[in-house]
Amino acid sequence: MSNTVHCDRCSQEIRIRGDLVTATMFFQVVPYHVDCYAKDLKGAKTLILNNQPINGFSGNFLTFIAIVVFIVSFFINDETRIYLSILSVIPIIYRLYSFLIYERHLEK
Ligand SMILES: [Zn+2]
């Protein structure tokens, strides 16, 4: 596994964490420069590119909510707990994946 992260749009290396945006596209986690992400969001890819980044403050906040929902789902005693736990575990997995595959290799 390579330790360098390359932008999905311009193929240049992303060196620092502050310049990295990870987002989901067709259930895949893709890395972007902050600028490239903004450009792709305005372009044709906007239909398939999730406009909610996985990393950064809003992504971390959503992950926090997902963890809370995931824990709460264990205290619910009917079939909705299955859906709640599955729905909430997906963003948690994406967040971990984004960190382990991309963010971990970059300088802060
Ligand atoms: Zn780029």
C-alpha of residue 64 to centroid of ligand 1, in Å: 28
Instruction: Give dist(CA 20, CA 103) in Å, integer.
Output: 8
At residue 21, what is the residue type? V
C-alpha of residue 34 to centroid of ligand 1, in Å: 8
C-alpha of residue 43 to centroid of ligand 1, in Å: 14
pLDDT of residue 2: 61
C-alpha of residue 99 to centroid of ligand 1, in Å: 18
pLDDT of residue 51: 85
Length of the chain: 108
Q: DSSP code of 52? A: S
C-alpha of residue 88 to centroid of ligand 1, in Å: 30
SS3 29: strand
pLDDT of residue 44: 80
State the distance between the two ends of the chain, measured CA to CA, in whole angstroms.
20
pTM: 0.87
pLDDT of residue 8: 95
Burial class for 84, CB neighbours closer than 10 Å (0-12, 13-18, 19+): middle
Across the chain, which has 108 residues, the per-10-residue mean pLDDT values are: 86 96 93 96 86 92 96 91 93 96 91
